[in-house]
Structure formats: structure tokens, C-alpha cells
Chains A and B, each alone.
Chain A
Amino acid sequence: MAKKKFVVGCFDNEEVLFPAVKKVRTAGYKIRDVYTPFPVHGLDHALGLRETSLHTAGFIYGITGTATALGGISWILTYDWPLNIGGKPHFALPAWIPITFELTVLFAAVGMVYTFCYLCQLAPFVKKHHFHPRATDDLFVMVIECTDKTNVEDLKGFLSSNGAIEVNEQIAEEGWWWGRYDKDDEKTLEKEIVAA
């Protein structure tokens, strides 16, 4: 995949981050992502990300579970193995509610977690480029994608003046990918740290 140049600005306070995000976006820069140590509410809207539709997927998995349970049990107890239990009806819907419910929950939960991992490309052994090791600790790391027209020095100064405590430039592969972390990349990674 194509390598791209990114300008990375690190903030240590979310109250500084929000106005900075706004300004960077108004200035016309493209924010690739902001890496935060915890969910910062409202940041997704500030970045212009659309709502996730993961819950819709969850609903679909859920009704798949309901249908599987009801269909399966009906077929088994009325057609494939119609067992006479004390002369009670074969189609004993009330008695099937617990299992139907459990399978609904099971399908929805398992399906959603897999979808979540798929969408975020999370799995054991997946390695990704980390722009700053403290992004999982206490820094809010804003990553801006550079184009040919971007004046990197200007952008760095712009970030510093908006409260970034650490600004640097990194080259990383654009987009996420499965399984491979470029060892060579790490060697050629240009990383110069400019104190704010």
C-alpha cells in the first residue's frame, strides 16, 4: 500500500483538543484520525464521523437467532421428532420462549463482537502503525494527512499555536491492513520531534 506522510500533533487536554480540531478542519486540513486514551464524547461529531450502524447489525443478528431457534425447535418437535410429552401439544410455543430468547441474545452478541472486530480490524497478531505510544496513556494524538500541497512547517506551527505539546512528522502506510507490520518501515520511519 502507498506510503503517506502524516503530521502528528499531541494534546494533553481534551478541552484544548476540541477547539484545535475545529480550527484544523476549518483551515482545510484533512484529519486522518484522533487517537485517544478513552472515549471522548462529541469528538466523533467534531471530526465529522457518521454514527456507527453496529447496533443495526446487532438487531439483524438478533432476529436471525430468534428465527433459528423458533424454526429449529418447531421443525424438531413437530416434524422430525414429535415426542408425546404427557399428551401436551407438539407445538408448545410458551415453553420455547426461554431458548428462543437465549439464542437471540447469543447470536446478537457474538455477531456484533465479530462485526466490531472486523470493522475495526482487531484480531490477535494484528499490528498497526502507532503514531504515539502515549496515545493509550494520556495523550490525544491528532494525525493529519499531508498532500503535495501541504506546507508541513506551516501546519506544524499551526498545531503548536493551537496547543499541541508535541508535533512531529511520520511516514506510515495509508489505511489498515491485515497481519503485516512493515519492519522496514520502522527503520525508514522519519520522525523528527519539534518541541512546542
Chain B
Amino acid sequence: MHLKYESQLREPLVNGRKTYHDVTEEIIRPIEAKPGKLWYVGFYIAVALLLFGVYSVYRDVTYGIGQWNLNKTVGWGWDITNFVWWVGIGHAGTLISAILLLFRQGWRTGVNRAAEAMTIFAVMCAGQFPIFHMGRVWLAFFIMPYPNTRGPVWVNFNSPLLWDVFAISTYFTVSVLFWYSGLIPDMATVRDRAKTKLRKLLYGIAAFGWTGSTKHWQRIESLSLVLAGLATPLVLSVHTIVSTDFATSVIPGWHTTIFPPYFVAGAVFSGFAMTQSLLLVVRKVYHLEDYITIGHIEAMNKIIVLTGSIVGVAYLTELFMGWYSQSKYEGYTFWYSRANLFSPYGWSYWGMMTCNVLTPQIFWLRKARRNLFITFFISVLVNVGMWFERFVIIVTSIYRDYLPSSWSVYYSPTIWEIGFYLGTFGLFFTCFFLFSKYAPVIAVHEIKYVLKTTGESYKNEMGALEREPVEEFAHEYAH
């Protein structure tokens, strides 16, 4: 009886000759072993950055956001740039786990767990910026609608900034639920292998008493399918709503209808780049090359070149519209403030163009897509480029107001603005280091599920099935 069949032409997703036990063993071993020196070095650097960030935020709360160099026209600077950047990075996790689940892309199984964790940590980082941008952060709960003694004064449900509150908090909640419901069976695997009492206790708590009952698997599969169905429009809505923060205003450079698809493509683009950077390190450090194969990396590079090109088309469309609309202000923003290399912020526009549009084109070459060094280098460049993109959108649109008398002085961040940004890096990597140490970075049960279809050693046996008469095969396959 053949339960599973996949064409031999498809590249195997799990390399080597593996049994189910090998899969458990290899993925869970790093959790059970003591972390290496590199882990400690990385972790302490991350914690140091986090502490610097905490101090920067402490100053911001104590002295107010006058600590930052925001001025009369540049009211949104590094903070909102970083907010949009981090939210964008978060998108790849949901894209991999939800959209690729709906599209039945088998390769998601190797990378989804880490990408989902990345999503959650990135959204945590993103959330800090608007919250501390409020200035009086102790009143941050005013953004939640609830009956209150101030009137009651309600929030404005027609405002994109409030949509953002709902979108980001829903996105965070749903991502955590999706991630953790997939993590429960793997936590049970770790629990059942645990040797010490403490590990048994802690992983026992984390595993929620999971047994692996058939009925439970049936329910969890239904749950993850529906959550994927919900998360797919959700992830599109989140960055769409972030883009409406800009697009519903009447500022030249923000007031465009292509923002939602353009932002979503950019978010996926930067998210995949960040996933690449992280996974290239993780697979090396934890020796997971058999599970995160070159094939996985190539698949992600294809998405990077696709979304990067979509973003490129959006940039060119904006430039075209800047001229075609014949609006003085649009033209000035796009052709002077941005595209002119010698304008004050021209460097950021061309940095963005180089990193986002030009360099990823190398991924049209199969050799480049399958080269780890090129992939890592480009993935870092893409994230730099996507940061520039948000900076370009925000700062170049507002640093010169309609009248020259209200042009602001050159905006550059203070050390505390930079410190806040570095601090979120610290938060992100502290969380990621802890996650990779205490939870399986690859979904163990999902790998086992695809093992006999896509495992290298099992694939070789598919050849016999291919030579079978069609009727017989169809009969067997249809149960």
C-alpha cells in the first residue's frame, strides 16, 4: 500500500537516509545539549543591545521625545521608519506558515517554525515604536476603546492609526496562537525525551498534556487549516492598514493608491530576507543542513526576486505618476526630494534602489540562488534597502513642507533614537536566541509528516511506483 507518492523530479526536502527517530534526534539535540560558546557571545551582545535600548527608552520617557531630533515638519522619523520596518519583517512568518500551507507547498515545513517565531519577535519590536512615540507612554491605554470616565471619550474608529492598533494587536495574538498550537506536539516530544526533573516539569507544562491521540491530530489539523485561512487575509490586511497610515493623508509622496499592494510586497520581501539571514546561521550552528536544504533557500530566493521586482515596479510607477500627474508637489517630491541624488536625502533613495531593486536581480541565476554567501549578502542588503525605503517614504515626503519658510533643518537622529532602534535589535535577538535554545527550531512533526514523501532515501523508491500500470496505481492511491 502506498500512502504517499511524489514525483522523483521534485527535489527532496529532507536529505540523507533518515528514520522518524533520526528526525527527532537531530532536531531536538541542540535543545538538550549545552549551548556553544558562539551562542553565549551572541546572547550577551543581544542583551547588551537590549539594555542600551532600555536606557534610551528610559531617557525618552523621562525627558519626553524631545530627546529625539524630530522637528516641526519631520514629526515621524526613525521611530515610525523602524516600526514599519519591523512589521514588514514579521510578514514572512505568516506568509510561510499560512499562505504556503494553503498552497500546499511542502518546503514550508523546514522553515515555518523559525519564521513564525521571527514574526512574533519582530511584531513585539515594532509595537514599541508607536507606543513610545506617544510620549506620555503611561497613557497608552487610551488607544483602547472602553467605557471610561472621560466623557466617555471614544477613539476614532475612522482613523487608520486606530486600525493599526487593532491590526497589529490581532496580528500578534493570532501569530502567537498559530505558532504555539503548532509547537505543542513538539514540546511533548521534548518532554518525553527529557532526562532531568526540571526539564520534565517545564516541558510538561509547555506541552499542555499532549498525547498524540488521533482525534487530537484531526482537530489540530482542522485548527491550523482554519487559522491559516484566517491569517492569510490578516497578513495582507496588516500591511495594507500600515500603508493607509500614509495613503489616507494628503501629503505628496504618501497620497497614492498603490500603497497597499506595494507595502505588502515590500513586507514579504524584507521578511523573507530576514528569514534567510537567520536560517543560514541557524542551519549552520545547529547542523540542520539536511532539513533546511539548498532547495529551501532557493525557493525563498525566488520569492525574494519576485517581490523585489514588484517593489521595483512600484517605485517606477510612483516616479512615472510624479511626472504624469503634472502636480507640482508630487513632481517635486518624487523627482527632486527622492530621485535627485544630489538633493539632501537623495542618497537614501538611491541606496534603496540599489539594495532592493538592482542587487536582488542576481537571483535570476540559479547558481546565485543556490550560493549561500551570495544569499546571505543579498539578504542583509535587502533589509538595509527596505529600511531605506521606509525612511525615504517618511522623511523625504515631509522634510520640505509646501512653503520654503516651513522647510525644516536637516533631520538626523540623536544617539537615543539610534539606541532605541539598536535596543529592538537586542530584544529581537535575545528572544530569538532563547527560542532557538529552548524550542525546536524546526517543526518536528511536520518534517515527519513529509518525510516519506519527500525524504531523499524514500524518493529513490518512488521510481518503482512510476513504472506501475496506471490503473493499478490509481486504484491503490484512491484507497
Contact = CB atoms under 8 A, between A and B. Distances in A.
B210 A134 contact: no
Contact of B21 (A58, A133, A137): A137
A99 interface: yes
Interface in B420-479: 445-446, 448-449, 479
A41 to B, nearest CB: 8
Contacts of A120: 213, 215-216, 219-220
A54 B225 CA distance: 11
A116 B220 contact: yes
Interface string A1-45: 000000000000011001100000000000001111111111110
Contact of A112 (B204, B227, B233): B227
A95 B230 contact: no
Nearest to A104: B230
A173 to B, nearest CB: 13
B185 A136 contact: yes
B42 to A, nearest CB: 30
Given A81-B154, A105-B233, A40 B217 contact: yes
Contacts of A96: 157-158
A77 B157 contact: yes
Given A55-B226, A101-B237, A137-B189, A127 B204 contact: yes
B219 A135 contact: no
A130 B192 contact: yes
A18 to B, nearest CB: 7
B214 A52 contact: no
A138 B19 contact: yes
A76 interface: yes
Given A34-B214, A110-B177, A81 B151 contact: yes
B163 A98 contact: yes
B223 interface: yes
B380 interface: no
A33 B445 contact: no
A135 B188 CA distance: 10
A52 B222 contact: yes
B181 interface: yes
B211 interface: yes
A54 B213 CA distance: 16
Contacts of B223: 54, 112-113, 116
A95 B3 contact: no
Contacts of B231: 105, 109
Nearest to B234: A105
Contact of B213 (A33, A42, A95): A33
A49 B216 CA distance: 11
Given A102-B166, A106-B173, A123-B209, A44 B19 contact: no
Given A54-B219, A98-B167, A105-B234, A73 B449 contact: no
Nearest to A15: B1
Interface in A54-75: 54-55, 58, 62, 72-73
Nearest to B20: A138
A132 to B, nearest CB: 9
B241 interface: yes
A108 interface: yes
A191 B271 CA distance: 51
A70 B143 CA distance: 18
A146 to B, nearest CB: 19
Interface of B: 1, 3, 19-21, 24, 145, 151-154, 156-158, 160, 162-163, 166-167, 170, 173-174, 177-178, 181, 184-185, 188-189, 191-193, 204-206, 208-223, 225-227, 230-231, 233-234, 237, 241, 244, 445-446, 448-449, 479
Given A38-B185, A113-B181, 4 more contacts: A33-B215, A81-B152, A96-B158, A98-B163
5 contacts: A37-B212, A43-B214, A102-B167, A103-B166, A128-B211
Interface of A: 14-15, 18-19, 33-44, 47, 49, 51-52, 54-55, 58, 62, 72-73, 76-77, 80-81, 83, 85, 88, 92, 95-96, 98-99, 101-103, 105-106, 108-110, 112-113, 116-117, 119-128, 130, 133-138, 141
Q: Which 7 A-B pairs have the closest CB atoms?
A: A126-B209, A138-B20, A122-B208, A95-B158, A38-B445, A39-B217, A38-B448
